[in-house]
Amino acid sequence: MWEVLRGPMTQLKMDPVRVENPAMPGTPDVNFIEGWTELKAATRWPPKGGPLQLDHPPTPEQRTWLLRRWHNGGWASLTLCVGQKNNKTWMVFRGRDVIDLWREPPLREQLEQAALLTTGSARDVAELLWNGRLGEW
């Protein structure tokens, strides 16, 4: 996911940096000029419409970090990619929405309603992240 998203972010001169920070639990995966995003992925949607089970769902620390940063005026988001190869669905969520949305594994309908963006393009995701809170979603 990082490899796919890094290219469009770099093209937009967002200066993306992958962050692994054991000293501050909850710190999102990617920092860029305008903010932060946590990356989450699943190989497919549940076949019978059940909850989306992630191998690594957002931790309580990640959800709290995103909420805190959002409420302090920063651009913090969660970027979700579901699918493989050329059949991917990308979604971006506000940091303030992640805390409630992932209390339990969410249904696809819940994700679609809460997403700022649903697209098949990593470039679209990068552009939304670049615009950040300017649009005040």
From first to last of the 137 residues of the chain, give the pLDDT tens digit.
Answer: 999 999 999 999 999 999 987 778 899 999 999 899 999 999 999 988 899 999 899 999 999 999 999 999 999 999 999 998 889 999 999 999 999 999 999 999 999 999 999 999 999 999 999 987 665 54
Instruction: Tell which phi-psi region holds residue 136, choosing left (phi > 0), alpha (psi between -120 and 50) or beta.
Output: left
Provide the whole-model pTM.
0.93
* The two structure tokens encoding residue 1: 């996911």
The domains located in the chain, with CATH, are 2-135 (3.40.1350.10)
Which amino acid is present at 29? D
Q: Which residues, 6 or more positions from 44, have their beta carbon under 8 angstroms from its beta carbon?
A: 82, 83, 84
Signed CA dihedral, 126, 131, 132, 136: sign only: negative
Question: Among residues 57, 46, 50, 32, which one has the least CA distance to residue 132?
Answer: 32
Q: What is the rounded distance in angstroms from the CA atom of residue 119 to the CA atom of residue 92?
A: 9
